[in-house]
């Protein structure tokens, strides 16, 4: 595609917001695209596509550009220019890799860029664009599987939706997307994967609550909790409610859901989404103190602990998080996960079930936490099963889920 200065400038602006102002990539792109109504679909696709690609391949592009630290506007221009040179090789696109003769690209030498690009490909952490510490921890925890998982985490994720069975069904939603527009996924009954990337949030069927956007791996978690209509379910780390809404759909408005979180704005968003989805049996509750869990002890037939984690299983969707994540955060969040398992589990009734879930590929946030919990609580709890989705093998995001039952 021919390069237009206005579009390259917009990409530069987006990258500055992400890397200098430390803002979240999806919000930056969304806001930027709103600012210029004259941009057409191709312009928008250029800005969003290039911004995400550069964020995903940031370390490799910097290496090819021979820039250690990118902070000044002219350095961001150089990065965007260098990406145009290596993109056809790296993503097998039909772009010609030629740069226009703009002063901003004056000191880019395409031959040198290509030599450094090839050199970068020989070192995994550069080729796969991850910070040293993430590469080291991935190898230490996943061993030989890390190579394939890491490569898969750098691929663009498909757009997957979950049909809301409170309001519609798979056949009807499939029809909305036209013949061959959406296909079913074996083993995930309410999921459809869309053939074409499109702005589905503007779709009438979405506004009417007929479906939600939710990765196929994520759609395995609520059913793992063995939900039937009539049960009382607590979703203790509900956030904006991706899985709460799935639980609601499985409950068919019979029984109850209590959705909790420590962040009020997420619960407000959940309430809005629940209204659109036709959920009638939801209550939300802000967690203000651990005393709450004593008051709710023994009240839940089912408890979902979709705990906060590194997010290292969902890098396909949030590539910027690998640059923002810090080792100290990982250590701190493991303590929070343990605290949640230890204290929140008391809300389950005898005979009731609990799922502990993460969107991390790391066993230290997942399998190891559950093993520790089971070791400390084997008299009160029975381990039933666990499942892990592999980004490389299953093509979903990387989730872990473990099912336990209170004796
Ligand atoms: C993985 S996200 C949940 C995603 C959500 N379940 C969904 O499917 O969309 C983890 C959530 O845990 C919340 N959280 C963090 N610390 C918490 C705590 N101590 N107790 C409960 N929730 C917490 C975060 O605000 C975040 O919304």
Which atom belonging to ligand 1 lies closest to the Cα atom of 246? 8
How many Å lie between the centroid of ligand 1 and the Cα of residue 261? Answer: 6
Domain end, chosen from 214, 231, 246, is at 214
pLDDT higher than threshold 80 for residue 1: no
Q: What is the pLDDT of residue 178?
A: 87
**246 and 379 part of one domain:** yes
ipTM over the 0.95 cut-off:
yes
CB atoms within 10 A of CB 364: 16
Res 343 pLDDT > 80: yes
Pairing between β-strand 160-163 and β-strand 211-213 as defined by DSSP bridges: antiparallel
Q: Is 187 left (phi over 0), alpha (psi -120 to 50) or beta?
A: left
106 and 152 assigned to the same domain: no
Structure tokens at 262: 């420590």
224: Cβ–Cβ under 8 A, 6 or more apart, which residues? 355, 357, 387, 401, 403
**CATH number of the CATH domain containing 318:** 3.40.50.150
Q: What is the mean pLDDT of the chain?
A: 96
**CATH number where 121 lies:** 1.10.940.10
Going 159 to 160 to 165 to 168, the CA torsion angle's sign is: positive
Structure-block tokens of residue 307: 């705990």
Which residues form the domain of 182?
158-214
Beta-bridged to residue 383, according to DSSP, are 404
Among the listed residues 269, 303, 297, the one whose alpha carbon sits nearest the alpha carbon of residue 284: 269
User: What would the pLDDT profile of 312-333 be if each residue is shown by its tens digit?
Assistant: 999 999 999 999 999 999 999 9
Q: Which single residue is written with the structure tokens 């990409």?
A: 11
User: How high is the pLDDT of residue 2?
Assistant: 86
Task: Check residue 180 and give its pLDDT.
Answer: 81
Residue nearest to atom 2 of ligand 1 (CA): 308
In angstroms, the CA 23 to CA 407 distance is 46
Which pLDDT tens digit goes with each residue over 118-148? 999 999 999 999 999 999 999 999 999 999 9
Are 400 and 287 contained in the same domain? Answer: yes
Is 359 in the active site? yes
Quickly state the pLDDT bin for 275 (edges 50, 70, 90): very high
- Quote the pTM value: 0.96
Shared-domain flag, residues 205 and 321 = no
Looking at the structure, do residues 198 and 226 belong to the same domain, yes or no?
A: no
The answer on 178 and 237 residing in a single domain is: no
Residue 306 assigned as binding residue: yes
From CA 351, how far away is CA 342, in angstroms rounded?
Answer: 18
- For a pLDDT cut of 70, what percent of the chain falls above it? 100
Residue of 322, 67, 26 lying closest to 81 (CA atoms): 67
Q: Which two tokens stand for residue 215?
A: 């990765």
Q: Residue 210 C-alpha to ligand 1 middle, in angstroms?
A: 25
Ligand 1 atom at shortest distance from the alpha carbon of 236: 21
Strand partners, 403: 355, 385
Are residue 336 and residue 199 in the same domain, yes or no?
Answer: no
**Per the structure, how many domains does the chain have?**
3
Let me know whether 210 and 64 are in one domain: no
Task: Give the pairing of strands 348-358 and 400-406.
Answer: antiparallel
Ligand 1 neighbourhood includes 269 CB (under 6 angstroms): no
306 close to ligand 1 (CB < 6 Angstrom): yes
CB 219 within 8 A of CB 190: yes
Task: Please check whether residue 287 is in contact with residue 266, taking contact to mean a CB–CB distance below 8 angstroms.
Answer: no
Last residue in a domain, options 183, 214, 245: 214
Is 333's C-beta closer than 6 angstroms to any atom of ligand 1? no
């Amino acid at each position: 595609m021919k390069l237009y200065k206005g579009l390259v400038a917009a990409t530069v602006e987006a990258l500055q917001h992400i890397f200098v102002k430390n803002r979240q990539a999806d919000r930056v792109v969304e806001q930027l695209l709103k600012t210029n109504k004259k941009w057409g679909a191709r312009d928008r696709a250029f800005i969003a596509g290039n911004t995400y690609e550069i964020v995903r391949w940031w370390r490799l592009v910097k290496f090819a550009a021979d820039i250690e630290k990118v902070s000044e506007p002219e350095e961001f221009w150089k990065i965007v220019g260098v990406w145009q040179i290596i993109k056809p090789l790296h993503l097998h696109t039909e772009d010609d890799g030629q740069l226009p003769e703009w002063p901003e690209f004056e000191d880019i030498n395409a031959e040198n860029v290509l030599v450094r690009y090839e050199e970068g490909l020989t070192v995994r952490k550069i080729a796969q664009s991850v910070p040293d510490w993430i590469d080291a921890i991935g190898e230490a925890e996943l061993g030989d599987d890390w190579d394939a998982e890491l490569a898969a985490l750098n691929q663009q994720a498909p757009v997957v939706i979950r049909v809301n069975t409170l309001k519609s069904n798979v056949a009807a939603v499939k029809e909305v997307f036209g013949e061959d527009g959406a296909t079913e996924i074996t083993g995930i009954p309410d999921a459809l994967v869309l053939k074409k990337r499109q702005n589905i949030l503007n779709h009438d069927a979405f506004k009417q609550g007929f479906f939600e956007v939710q990765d196929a791996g994520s759609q395995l978690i609520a059913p793992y909790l063995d939900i039937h209509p009539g049960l009382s379910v607590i979703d203790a780390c509900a956030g904006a409610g991706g899985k709460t809404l799935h639980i609601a759909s499985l409950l068919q408005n019979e029984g109850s859901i209590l959705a909790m979180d420590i962040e009020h704005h997420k619960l407000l968003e959940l309430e809005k989404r629940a209204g659109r989805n036709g959920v009638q049996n939801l209550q939300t509750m802000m967690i203000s103190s651990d005393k709450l869990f004593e008051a709710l002890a023994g009240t839940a037939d089912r408890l979902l602990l979709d705990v906060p984690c590194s997010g290292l299983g969902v890098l396909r969707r949030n590539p910027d998080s690998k640059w923002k994540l810090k080792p100290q955060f990982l250590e701190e969040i493991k303590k929070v996960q343990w605290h949640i398992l230890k204290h929140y589990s008391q809300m389950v009734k005898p005979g009731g079930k609990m799922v502990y879930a993460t969107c991390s590929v790391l066993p230290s946030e997942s399998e190891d936490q559950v093993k520790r919990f089971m070791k400390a609580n084997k008299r009160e709890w029975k381990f039933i099963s666990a499942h892990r989705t592999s980004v490389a093998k299953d093509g979903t995001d990387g989730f872990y889920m473990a099912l336990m039952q209170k004796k």
